[in-house]
Structure 1
Amino acid sequence: MSSVNYTVEDLKPRILQNIEDLEYKAAYKFCKKALELEPKNATVLEMMGQVELELGYYESARKHLLESIQLEPNAGYSKYMYLGQMSVAKDAIEAFQKGVDLMVIERNKLPADSEDSKVIASKISSALCSMTELYLTDLCFEPEAEQKCEEYTKHALEVDPNNSEVYQTLASVRLSQQRQDEARQALTTAMELWIHKDLGDPAIPIYESRLNLVKLLLEVGMFDHAFTVLENLQKENEEVVDLWYLYGWTYYCLGDEDDRSPEDKTTLWADARDCLETAVRVK
């Protein structure tokens, strides 16, 4: 079947299926065909931007997302989320905020206890976490940084109190404020929301997020909790350099405690060395 026989409506489901299957190169080809037919189709421009972002074509992805936004600025929150990921500082905040505003409007149209409402609530809270992280990093010297962190995390907790990412982000905020006890409490809550769930449960954060959780747990001295998360990660995928580095760092921190006997220190530091050597091999 030649490309001239396709309509954009024919191509859209093919693009979506390829995206779902992570077949981004195939999706890219279908997007190109669709844009040849309708170069001002906002939905296809957004799809193309998403696909190009996944393929690493960042300049072109930004161009297509901005075109989609220009055509339909008040429809479709996802394009603002993608643009936020690609932007920095205040530009990223602006993109995320517009996406959040659109998601709130969409959520308000749904029954409060519906699954669709819960999905959007999770996306809103995650976007607010991303905005908080920006004020903890790129924008940390802005005069409103602490106020914004408090505002965003409070809103995220109100929208989705069962999102572990929110408590993990809150812990980062509390650590930046040197409120370690509250950071520990937030990290404990974050873990409790998923640690006993079966592998594959959607409540379980992505692998990278759990690695970051371990770093926070180590920062506040919650070594047993760190081992629990690391063991969980190891069962899922043990061929990850950071996993073994963090294992090694956890053993080292335990051996560095003042109340350890010389024998314990020697054993723990030997374990740390073994883990770090594994990290080198995995790499």
Structure 2
Amino acid sequence: MGKTKGKGHPKAKGGGPRAPAARITPQQLYEQAQLALQYDDFDSARTALRKAVKLDPKNIECVDALGALLAEVGPEEEAVEVLKQAVSLNPDVGYEKYLYLGQLLEVPEDALAATRKGVQVLQAQHAAAQATSSDEAPVLSRALSGALCSLSEMLIAGAQERAVSAAAERGCDTAAIEAASKEAVASVAAEAEHLLSLASTADPDSPEPGQALAALRYQQGRATDALEALRRSMSLWYTPTNKDEDGEEGEGGMAAAKGGEDEAMEDAEEDSEDDSEEEEEDGPSYEFRIESAKLLLELEDTTATAIDVLEGLIEEDDRVPDAWHLLALAYYSGHQYAEAAEVLAKGQALLAKLGAGPEDEITQEFADLESAIKEAITVTGASAAQ
């Protein structure tokens, strides 16, 4: 009778014991994440970095990378947790984590403190790079300028928010609340101006400090100074649209606004990432130029420059409802009511395409402007008939 094999003891293959599987390292996971990010595969990158941090919670490179990625793609609560972890691991190196916390922390005082710390760390890093003539110095100059502008704007916004909230709690009327807001701006104006001066020194080619100063001057009620600062800022990036011999705008201008609605709506479905990347390299962001147009409408006696900026934005990307609304408002403010109505209709068609509902704030803003335009057209028509 043959000998039976014991259960639970399978014979090893290959004539010997199997070698243990090699464990993946945090560095390998980090490299996997970087490769995934090259293809905009954020989910895979996030998963890899989470695994890396779990394997080595004190690996500052992985913790920093995960915090930055979470700050960009979420979830925000986890981002704050990881960024705080990065701060505890290396509090005096790496300014990005502080600037991200400045954007994400809900308590204004905490957000302001984080941004201040980020600026301090960045200033030290920038000074060191300049001292050694490092290739990083120009990049850090731009980053420092932007961070100083952000800190200035946060300082002003925080002071205003506290003052307005306190006045509202006291039951003040609208005029008193506005006065409290202006007093709050005055209380931090000197520091804000100093920060903007440092920002301009760090990167003289950046239009951001000048536009931030224009906004501050406008809040101070100094409209002439505000317009002067805005024009200096715009001189760094804005070129008026060329006109032909008949005074009509060339390839810029109303080319997009006059185009067919179907074509504009089809464009709304296209991917805009490549355009956005080129825009960042060539000049200020779309959002920055939107703010420029808003200031122009507040400060200039004519609407020509604001219209030119907004038409250029729409030609660049006609999928932004705010740009259509502002362009219609610019035409309306310039008493060009037919043009305003035409532009507004195209913007409303875009809203419908994007699925905006009647309860959305942007939809109501379009409706309010539509009523104002219709009333203006009616009054103008009645006056012409007399």
TM-score (norm 1): 0.87
Aligned to 1:109: 128
Aligned to 1:275: 343
2:224 is paired with a residue whose SS is helix
Q: Is residue 279–residue 286 contact of structure 2 (8 Å, CA) maintained in 1?
A: no
**Greater shift in the superposed pair: 272-281 or 38-47:** 38-47
Cα deviation code 1:125-156 (max 9, x no counterpart): 11111112113323223574222212211211
Alignment of structure 1 residues 1-283 onto 2, 5 Å: 5-19=23-37, 21-87=39-105, 88-111=107-130, 115-140=135-160, 141=163, 142=184, 144-196=187-239, 200=279, 202-221=281-300, 223-255=303-335, 268-283=336-351
Aligned residue pairs, count = 269
Distance 1:56 1:5, change over 3 A: same
**Structure 1 residue ranges without an equivalent (≥5):** 256-267
**Structure 2 residue ranges without an equivalent (≥5):** 1-20, 164-183, 241-277, 352-386
Provide the C-alpha distance between the structure 2 equivalents of 1:147 and 1:70, rounded to a whole number of angstroms.
33
Deviation of 1:19 (Å): 3.8
Deviation of 1:17 (Å): 4.2
Deviation of 1:21 (Å): 4.4
Provide the C-alpha distance between the structure 1 equivalents of 2:49 and 2:307, rounded to a whole number of angstroms.
45
Cα deviation code 1:153-208 (max 9, x no counterpart): 121112112111111111111101111112111211222212249x6462511111
Q: Is residue 77–residue 102 contact of structure 1 (8 Å, CA) maintained in 2?
A: yes
Distance 1:36 1:245, change over 3 A: same
Q: Is residue 89–residue 139 contact of structure 1 (8 Å, CA) maintained in 2?
A: no
Q: What one-letter code is carried by the residue in structure 2 that aligns with 1:31?
A: L
Deviation of 1:44 (Å): 1.6
Q: Is residue 24–residue 54 contact of structure 1 (8 Å, CA) maintained in 2?
A: no
**Greater shift in the superposed pair: 125-134 or 220-229:** 220-229
Q: Is residue 208–residue 233 contact of structure 2 (8 Å, CA) maintained in 1?
A: yes
Give aligned-pair identity as a percent.
Answer: 31
Q: What one-letter code is carried by the residue in structure 1 that aligns with 2:201?
A: E
Provide the C-alpha distance between the structure 1 equivalents of 2:239 and 2:25, rounded to a whole number of angstroms.
48
Q: Is residue 197–residue 209 contact of structure 2 (8 Å, CA) maintained in 1?
A: no
Provide the C-alpha distance between the structure 2 equivalents of 1:43 and 1:168, rounded to a whole number of angstroms.
35
Bigger radius of gyration: 2
2:129 is paired with a residue whose SS is coil
Provide the C-alpha distance between the structure 2 equivalents of 1:74 and 1:166, rounded to a whole number of angstroms.
26
Provide the C-alpha distance between the structure 2 equivalents of 1:132 and 1:68, rounded to a whole number of angstroms.
25
Distance 1:130 1:236, change over 3 A: same
Q: CA RMSD in A?
A: 2.4
